[in-house]
């Protein structure tokens, strides 16, 4: 329960409470679509017992629950762990279907499913998560049977077409799983954990371009000390990226903020530009077809902040200080 400074209580409320109390709802997640919140969860109410399916409901900003819960899947198999993102017109909900694969479906502004269920990955897959980028979604998921788990991604259009599938993120030895995904305005960033249960593990990151191309190689995000680490989560601000995770036997929460090192040598044809937010931006265009990367391996868009950049084939660093 929340309490205001004047000691007025702000009551919590139920989003989903079916008439049969024995039914279980779990794994909630929520986003804001610009008008209402959209919540997704798995629900047992269409059974049979211990069989769950993804549901959604809209919630108004004042807390009014607008829907009783709409099932968005059509499978008779148990389904788990929904996640969702929004493209400005519709939301896309993804979930895992036990050993049947990962799936997704669009939900419109009325809280109703649109189109068919989209098969994203076949076989024994789990843990799908996603973000919307400039024009498409990147869905990350892991495949296999513990401890041999590999992480992949799929690029999905706003109409449900699989544009690039699969994209290898973390494969081979070790155990790669539980990804989160964000978009920084230029590229996607996938973060995940690598390591076995109850053993030292590492939180890694990998940038993915809008066209599904991995940018350079995965990089560690946490410190060097051996620790158990779980459940990475990511959020992007206008300048930095925060990654948080669970760490240690005592289950503390740790994090790492990426201090963005962005900026390039300005070409004669590249005038200084200014974004709506105010930071000075410079042209990221260089002669020829060179591609530029910042210190964390992210490919640079057409404009960027002053800082240090690298270009494959160029000697040394490209530096702009203002």
pTM of the model: 0.79
Pick the more confident residue, 278 or 228.
Answer: 228
Weakest-pLDDT range from 125-129, 203-207, 256-260, 315-319: 315-319
Q: Looking at domain 2-258, which of 3.30.70.20, 1.20.120.430, 2.120.10.10, 2.40.110.10 is its CATH number?
A: 2.120.10.10
As a whole number of angstroms, the distance between CA 301 and CA 223 comes to 29
As a whole number of angstroms, the distance between CA 84 and CA 92 comes to 6
Burial of 12 (0-12, 13-18, 19+ CB in 10 A): exposed
Query: pLDDT tens-digit profile of 41-57?
Result: 999 887 777 899 999 99
Question: Helix, strand, coil % (nearest 5) of the chain?
Answer: 0, 50, 50
For the chain, the first-to-last Cα distance in angstroms comes to 49
The domain spans of the chain are: 2-258, 261-322
Give the per-residue pLDDT at 296.
59
Query: pLDDT tens-digit profile of 206-253?
Result: 999 999 999 989 999 998 899 999 999 999 988 889 999 999 998 999
Query: pLDDT tens-digit profile of 174-197?
Result: 999 999 999 999 999 999 999 999
């Amino acid at each position: 329960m929340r309490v205001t400074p004047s000691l007025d209580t702000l009551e919590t409320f139920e989003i989903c409470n079916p008439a049969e109390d024995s039914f279980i709802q779990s794994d909630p997640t929520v986003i804001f679509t610009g008008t209402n919140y959209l919540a997704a969860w798995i629900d047992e109410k269409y059974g049979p017992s211990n069989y769950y399916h993804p549901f959604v409901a809209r919630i108004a900003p004042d807390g009014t629950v607008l829907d009783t819960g709409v099932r968005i899947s059509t499978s008779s198999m148990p389904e788990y762990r929904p996640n969702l993102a929004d493209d400005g017109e519709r939301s896309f909900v993804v979930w895992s279907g036990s050993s049947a694969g990962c799936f997704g479906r669009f939900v419109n502004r009325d809280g109703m499913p649109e189109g068919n269920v989209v098969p994203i990955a076949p076989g024994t897959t789990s843990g799908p998560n996603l973000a919307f980028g400039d024009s498409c979604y990147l869905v990350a998921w892991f495949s296999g049977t513990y401890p041999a788990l590999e992480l992949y991604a799929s690029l999905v259009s706003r109409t449900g077409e699989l544009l690039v599938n699969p994209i290898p993120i973390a494969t081979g030895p070790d155990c790669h799983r539980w990804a989160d995904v964000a978009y920084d305005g230029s590229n996607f960033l996938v973060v995940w954990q690598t390591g076995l249960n109850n053993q030292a593990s590492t939180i890694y990151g990998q940038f993915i371009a809008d066209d599904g191309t991995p940018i350079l190689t995965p990089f560690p995000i946490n410190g060097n000390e051996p620790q158990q680490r779980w459940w990475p989560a990511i959020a992007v601000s206008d300048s930095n990226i925060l990654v948080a995770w669970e760490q240690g036997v005592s289950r503390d929460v740790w994090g790492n903020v990426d201090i963005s090192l962005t900026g390039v040598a300005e070409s004669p044809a590249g005038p200084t530009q200014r974004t709506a937010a105010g930071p000075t931006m410079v042209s990221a265009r260089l002669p020829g077809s060179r591609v530029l990367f910042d210190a964390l391996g992210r490919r640079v868009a057409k404009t960027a902040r002053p800082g240090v950049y690298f270009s494959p084939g160029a000697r040394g660093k490209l530096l702009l200080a203002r």
